[in-house]
Structure 1
Amino acid sequence: MIWSVWWIWVVAGLLLGIVEILVPGFVFLGFAVGAVATGLLIWIGLEAGLPLLLVLFALMSLAVWLALRRMFGLPSGSVKIWDRDINDN
């Protein structure tokens, strides 16, 4: 089926990477890396059905998102405090 073709996952990952460039925020980047990693697993020989592929995709995407959150997020325990509103003159 279409989900067992490795390059479909890689192309989907690249498209999600493009979406991340257009809508920054490290949301789609985790999904992009998860899709590419799933495609690479299929390429190296993983033969699995759609449910297992979706679980692997979800777990890898979550792991990448958590790593990005840890690397680029606010320091633990701190809260972003806005002292100026863009609508104030």
Structure 2
Amino acid sequence: MFSKLSAISHKPFANVRHAFTLIELLVVISIIALLTSISAAAFNNFARRQRLEEAQKALDSVIRDAQTRALSSVSGLNWGVHLT
């Protein structure tokens, strides 16, 4: 009699399928969406910073060129930078 009980007690979950629940899938999808939005915002800030640095370098180059031409008196003209 004990052997019948032990044999039965080892199989109560034999027909249960192992799968993800809807809640688990929703949690994973929401985590992925959160990480995607954070990385998109970080990339947007990075791109904006890169454009600003490129504009800064271009302006610096123009100012240095005007400074060099003014100091060397190329063709006797006055050189300057006019910011508008």
TM-score, normalised via structure 1 length = 0.30
Rg (Cα) greater in structure? 2
TM-score, normalised via structure 2 length = 0.31
- Higher RCO by CA contacts (8 Å cutoff, separation 6 or greater): 1
